[in-house]
């Protein structure tokens, strides 16, 4: 079946419109990808700057506190604190005092006596049961 001239022009027009739409979609997709890459680079650059600033802050804090005689104290949760020598001494002494007080010597006298009494009672019951069964 042969297309008429008018049908042919309509088909060409429709195909051309589809191709233009596809071309526009591809361009939008490409631009979107470029923006994502650009945004990702900017985020990475920002993170890198923040890391450099954080390192500088830590170095400057370390220098500042060491110049003024502060000491680094690591608490029981692993957090680092810079303390004056007086605070550092107080905390370490306080921890030592608290440790000494916390050490409890377990008392076995009461539990040992209780255990001996229970076994003696069980032995008495067993002897009485044995005598009863023999008769």
Handedness of CA 73, 74, 77, 78 (dihedral sign): positive
**E strands, the chain, in order:** 71-74, 80-83
Quickly count: other Cβ atoms within 10 Å of residue 40's Cβ: 10
% the chain with pLDDT above 90? 62
Q: What are the residues facing 74 on neighbouring strands?
A: 80
pLDDT of residue 103 exceeding 60: no
d(CA 26, CA 21): 9
Q: Which ranges constitute the DSSP H helices of 1-135?
A: 5-67, 85-102, 109-134
Whole-model pTM? 0.47
d(CA 25, CA 31): 10
Can you give the pLDDT at residue 57? Answer: 95
Can you give the pLDDT at residue 102? Answer: 55
Query: How many angstroms separate the Cα of 99 from the Cα of each of 12, 72, 81, 104?
Result: 91, 21, 21, 10
- How confident is residue 108, by pLDDT bands cut at 50, 70 and 90? low
Can you give the pLDDT at residue 46? Answer: 96
d(CA 87, CA 93): 10
Residue-wise pLDDT tens digits, 4-56: 899 999 999 999 999 999 999 999 999 999 999 999 999 999 999 999 999 99
d(CA 23, CA 45): 33
- How confident is residue 1, by pLDDT bands cut at 50, 70 and 90? low
């Amino acid at each position: 079946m042969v297309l008429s001239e008018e049908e042919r022009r309509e088909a060409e027009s429709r195909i051309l419109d589809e191709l233009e739409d596809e071309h526009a979609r591809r361009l939008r997709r490409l631009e979107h990808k470029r923006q994502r890459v650009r945004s990702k680079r900017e985020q990475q650059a920002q993170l890198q700057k923040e890391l450099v600033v954080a390192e500088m802050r830590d170095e400057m804090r370390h220098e500042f506190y060491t110049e003024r005689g502060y000491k680094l104290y690591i608490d029981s949760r692993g957090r680092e604190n810079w303390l004056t020598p007086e605070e550092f001494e107080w905390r370490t002494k306080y921890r030592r005092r608290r440790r000494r007080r916390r050490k409890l010597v377990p008392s076995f006298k009461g539990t040992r006596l209780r255990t001996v009494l229970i076994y003696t009672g069980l032995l008495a019951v067993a002897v009485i049961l044995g005598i009863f069964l023999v008769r």
